[in-house]
Amino acid sequence: MDTSGTLEEAFERLHSTGPERNGWLSNHAPMVAEALAAHGRAGAVHRWLDLYRDKLEDFPDAVAPVTDDNWPSALGDPRRAADWIGYFSRAVAEHPWRSVLAVWWPRLLPGIYAGATHPVIRVGHAVRALGSGENEPRRTELAHGLGYWAARHQPVVGIVPLPGGTSAAGTLDAVPPIAGGVVGFRARLDAVRQLPVWAGEVSDPEVARERLTELVRAATHRYATHGHGEPTMLVHAATAPNAVLRALDALPRDLWAPSLHAAWTASAAVTAMYAPSEPIGYTPSAGLTAEEVLERAVVHGDEHVIKFTDTALDVGDETALVAALRAVEISEPLV
């Protein structure tokens, strides 16, 4: 746990900014700040925020309060982001944050694709921060993440199930790519028509955790050979399910299996949307420690690289570190 107060300062600095910029692109700053603090790099947080500040916009204007009675009509309306964040800010001030999460997680889970999966990722970072220590800035960050998710909530229906494999890695390999020439996340997501089913029979909570851990590992490893398909977007095939994995211990156990199934479809959909025509072999510099890989990601500075490296460090094996180095290599640096 970071006890310097830097993460709290960062959250307070960022909570006057909106969850998006340019009408769609996500504000990654709270997630990166949490990732850096979680890995003992609190000293780099404000320096990184200074580099990122031109990508921040002011907090959006409110439209009308979201309430316990009218929330269904506001779900999935991005114009209501401020209203949703206000709703969840009140909720976590009045109730234990785990209780708020338990009520809203199953309501929001069908829209896990929202905002290119960034809202659930932001929630996962906030839950990890709260797991290591509770205070008002961390609870407020959870409110911002949940509010962003509710405002961008985007269910996907009508996907034809295909037979899956016995492993997450093998089933990701079996995901059929969408037709070429489709531009933009939402249009690409609409083009996903069929996905293989993996772990669909799982209902036991502990098995669900094991399978979700396997999925995060497989998607992280796969980036080393497939990340060139779209270096930025393909990181989400790993970081989105890892956000769900981080949230499990804060959730009732009966939500673990549904969380696995939602995480799988999100990871598989991203894989379908940005799969390269062919994998490539990749041999990185040998012998780097996890700390050295993290240092390369921090120096590189790209928000997706840092967050993907954070997930790779959670996986913790050599192939995951290889994948993180691949992200450094093929992604555009922040500056």
Residues 27, 148 within the same domain:
yes
Asked whether residue 118 is domain-assigned, the answer is yes
CA distance to 73, 102, 103, 263, per residue, from 70 (Å):
6, 19, 16, 28
Average pLDDT, the chain: 96
pLDDT in tens, 277-333: 999 988 776 689 999 999 999 999 999 999 999 999 999 999 999 999 999 999 999
Shared-domain flag, residues 141 and 166: no
Distance CA 85, CA 65 (A): 10
Closest by CA to 84, choosing from 115, 56, 55, 50, is 115
Residue 198 belongs to some domain of the structure: yes
What whole-number distance in Å separates Cα of residue 6 and Cα of residue 111? 32
225 plus 208 within the same structural domain: yes
Same domain, residue pair 135 and 176: no
Q: What is the pLDDT of residues 124-136, one digit of tens each?
A: 999 999 999 999 9
**First-last CA distance in the chain:** 29
* Cβ within 8 Å of residue 194, ≥6 positions away: 159, 160, 161, 162, 176
Question: What pTM does this model have?
Answer: 0.97
Only one residue has tokens 């211990």, namely 249
Question: Which has the minimum average pLDDT: 36-40, 218-222, 232-236, 279-283?
Answer: 279-283
Distance CA 176, CA 155 (A): 20
Q: Do 164 and 237 sit in the same domain of this protein?
A: yes
Given 115, 132, 152, which residue is the final one in a domain?
152
Domain boundary among 152, 176, 200: 152
Element (H, E) at 161: strand 160-162
Same domain, 34 and 84: yes
How does 59-89 read in b/e, with b if 16+ C-beta sit within 10 Å? bbeeeeebeeeebeebbebbebbbbbbbbbb
CB neighbour burial string for 184-198, b if at least 16 within 10 angstroms, e if fewer: ebeebbeebeebbbb
Same domain, 254 and 180: yes
- Domain end point (choices 152, 181, 212): 152
Q: What string of DSSP letters covers 262-282? A: HHHHHHHHHHHHH--SS----
Which tokens hold the place of 301? 């500075």
**Looking at the domain assignment, is residue 1 inside a domain?**
no
Domain-located, residue 283: no
Same domain, 33 and 131: yes
79-131: pLDDT as tens digits: 999 999 999 999 999 999 999 999 999 999 999 999 999 999 999 999 999 99
* 1 pLDDT higher than 60: no
State the average pLDDT over residues 250-273: 98
pLDDT of residue 286: 64
Q: DSSP character for 79?
A: G
Handedness of CA 111, 304, 127, 260 (dihedral sign): positive
Q: How many domains does the chain have?
A: 3
* Residue 281 domain flag: no
Do 139 and 186 lie in a common domain? no
Q: What is the distance between the alpha carbons of residues 157 and 160, in angstroms, rounded to a whole number?
A: 9
CA distance 28 to 55: 9
Domain shared by 101 and 171, yes or no: no
Domain identity same for 164 and 147: no
Q: Is residue 335 part of a domain?
A: no
Domain that holds residue 61: 6-152
Rounded-to-integer distance, Cα 1 and Cα 110, Å: 32
Closest CA to 239 of 150, 138, 159, 315: 315
In a domain, 218, yes or no: yes
